[in-house]
């Protein structure tokens, strides 16, 4: 029997024609190459090279063995590449949290695109209007809107400026007429928000005066959107969503006072895990590109 590892010495000598050159290519001493070739020949019980002052030439048995040794080399390289690829393969579970609208518009398509490249990464999505405690491990990644988180243990990245405006069902706009100013909203029934976290919108609606007709309230954006699509009245919603709904019409350009920053939130420990870091970066890039594409599309539509 022989040592399989000796085949690489056999191939190096066969390709270079000398033990000195083979040693250089393998980064070992010439004496080591000579010894391993001798051991291989002894193990096989046959000479593989004809030795001469000009170097080493394959014997008849050596020539017959060469393609088999090269086949073994290819198989070993393929195995090494496969093992290395498995080592680089991202896998694991990532828990993400954000509000329902961001989940539907960004997270779901972003994760679908990411998993097409990394199918061993499992995403667990927690849809919640509450800010889960990332620092305490309730989730690995969050998309949040409004003021940036103040916890110094968190790593935050600003990824979007969420622009908002007022939308209404097209037939209601035709019936009541397009308003020329915000004050014209008083002739529309208005759908407002209930619960915490909507102070910015409430303040803006209140600033329009006491004649605003609050016809309906809901505590989630999806419910507000559903009410607007049902024709219950006008409502504030992100332009990214409202502009994409064919039965709604935007009454005004994006309202500066209602622009809201969006943050990608994680922890330093989470970012050190390759599968979390990869998904985190992918989502950030995806959201930025999605917003840029949408805004470019509607700038063209507005100019037409």
Residue-number span of the structural domain to which 29 is assigned: 6-88
pLDDT-derived band at 9, boundaries 50, 70, 90: very high
pLDDT > 80? residue 303: no
Q: Is residue 76 part of a domain?
A: yes
Q: What percent of the chain has pLDDT over 90?
A: 46
Band of the pLDDT at 76, cuts 50, 70, 90?
confident
**What is the reported pLDDT for 200?**
80
Residues 174, 253, single domain; the answer is: yes
73-94: average pLDDT: 77
Is the pLDDT confidence value at 192 over 80?
yes
Domain end marker among 30, 63, 88: 88
Confidence check: pLDDT of 107 > 70: yes
pLDDT at 32: 93
* In the predicted structure, residue 297 carries a pLDDT above the cut 80: no
Kindly tell me the sign of the dihedral angle through the C-alpha atoms of 139, 140, 145, 151: positive
Return the pLDDT at 196. Answer: 54
**CATH number, domain with residue 34:** 1.10.10.10
| pLDDT band at residue 301 under the 50/70/90 scheme | low
What's the pLDDT tens digit per position in 115-142?
A: 988 888 999 999 887 778 888 888 899 8
Who contacts 258 (Cβ-Cβ below 8 Å, separation ≥6)?
A: 163, 164, 165, 200, 201, 204, 236
pLDDT (0 to 100) of residue 302 = 56
Within a domain: residue 19?
A: yes
Residues 145 and 292 in one domain: yes
**pLDDT given at position 293:** 78
Q: How many angstroms separate the first and last alpha carbons of the chain?
A: 81
Range 1-22 average pLDDT: 88
132 with 270, same domain: the answer is yes
User: What is the pLDDT, as a whole number, of residue 85?
Assistant: 62
Based on the fold, state whether residues 233 and 96 are members of the same structural domain: no
Rounded CA separation 72/24 (Å): 22
Same domain, 10 and 75: yes
**140 class by beta-carbon count within 10 Å (0-12 exposed, 13-18 middle, 19+ buried):** buried
Are 146 and 270 found together in one domain? Answer: yes
Tokens coding 192: 């407002």
Show which of 65, 88, 111 is a domain's final residue.
88
- In this structure, are 233 and 270 located in the same domain? no
At residue 197, does pLDDT exceed 60? no
Q: Are residues 272 and 245 in the same domain?
A: no
Mean pLDDT of 88-96: 84
pLDDT for the residue numbered 175: 93
Is residue 99 very low, low, confident or very high in pLDDT (cuts 50, 70, 90)? confident
- At which of 88, 104, 121 does a domain end? 88
Write out pLDDT tens, residues 232-253.
999 999 888 888 888 999 999 9
Regarding whether 83 and 97 lie in a shared domain, the answer is no
Report the domain count for the chain.
3
By the 8 A CB rule, do 153 and 267 touch?
yes
143 shares a domain with 289: yes
Residue 1 domain flag: no
Q: What mean pLDDT value characterizes the chain? A: 87
Residue 100 in domain: yes
Same domain assignment for residues 111 and 80: no
Q: Pick from 215, 254, 213, 262: which is nearest to 236 by CA?
A: 254
Per the confidence metrics, is the pTM higher than 0.85?
Answer: no
The whole-number average pLDDT for the span 137-159 is 87
Q: Among candidates 164, 171, 169, 172, which has minimal Cα distance to 193?
A: 164
Residue 145 · residue 99 · CB < 8 Å: yes
């Amino acid at each position: 029997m022989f040592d399989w590892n000796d085949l690489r010495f056999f191939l190096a000598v066969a390709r270079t024609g000398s033990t000195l050159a083979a040693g250089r290519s393998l980064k070992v001493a010439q004496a080591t190459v000579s010894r391993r070739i001798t051991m291989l020949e002894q193990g096989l019980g046959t000479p593989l090279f004809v030795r001469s002052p000009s170097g080493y030439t394959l014997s008849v048995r050596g020539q017959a063995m060469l393609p088999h040794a090269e086949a073994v080399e290819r198989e070993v390289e393929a195995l090494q590449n496969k093992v290395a690829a498995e080592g680089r393969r991202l896998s694991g579970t990532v828990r993400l949290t954000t509000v329902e609208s961001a989940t539907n518009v960004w997270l779901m398509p972003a994760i679908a695109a990411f998993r097409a490249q990394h199918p061993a990464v499992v995403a667990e999505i927690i849809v919640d209007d509450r800010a889960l405690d990332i620092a305490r491990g309730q989730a690995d990644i969050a998309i949040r809107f409004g003021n940036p988180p103040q916890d110094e243990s968190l790593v935050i990245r600003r990824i979007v400026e969420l622009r908002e405006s007022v939308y209404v069902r097209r037939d209601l706009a035709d019936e009541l007429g397009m308003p020329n100013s915000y004050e014209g909203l008083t002739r529309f029934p208005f759908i407002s928000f209930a619960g915490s976290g909507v102070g910015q919108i409430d303040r803006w609606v209140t600033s329009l005066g006491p004649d605003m007709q609050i016809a309906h309230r809901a505590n989630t954006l999806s419910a507000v959107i559903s009410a607007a699509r049902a024709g219950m009245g006008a409502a504030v919603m992100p332009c990214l969503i409202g502009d994409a709904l064919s039965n709604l019409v935007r009454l005004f350009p994006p309202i500066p006072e209602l622009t809201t920053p969006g943050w990608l939130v994680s922890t330093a420990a989470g970012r050190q895990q390759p599968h979390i870091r990869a998904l985190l970066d992918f989502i950030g890039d995806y959201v930025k590109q999605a917003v840029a594409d949408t805004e470019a599309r509607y700038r063209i539509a507005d100019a037409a």
